[in-house]
Amino acid sequence: MSVPIIKEWAVCYSSEDLYQPPEAVGRTIVGKVYGSSKFEDGVKIRTGTVKSANGREFITESGSHYRLFGRPRKDYLKWLKDSGVKYDSNNPIRINK
């Protein structure tokens, strides 16, 4: 079985706890999914919280497996630049300052 891909994506950071350190903040991915048995191709989704990532492939806490495809959304790249966060195309889910 092939791994569904997500195009036109962005990493989203969320935390309800104002005192939670940045490295402990949950990450989700938004984008258009292709090749999934759960969704029609091109449907915009927000994944569950990312549990683990290896390069561009990741697994959510519920066990769903996805692969990021292509470059992220332009607005996300702008946000990274404006925030002083370096974009790592090989490990895009990890934050590098």
Q: What is the DSSP string of 30-55?
A: EEEEES-SSS-TTEEEE---EEEEET
Give yes or no for residue 65 having a pLDDT over 80. yes
Given this model, what pLDDT does residue 46 score? 94
> What are the residues whose beta carbons fall under 8 Å from the beta carbon of 29, sequence distance 6 or more?
6, 9, 10, 11, 12, 46, 47, 50, 58, 66, 68, 93
Return the beta strands (E) in 41-92 as ranges: 43-46, 50-54, 57-60, 65-68
Give yes or no for residue 82 having a pLDDT over 70. yes
Largest separation between any pair of C-alpha atoms in the chain:
41
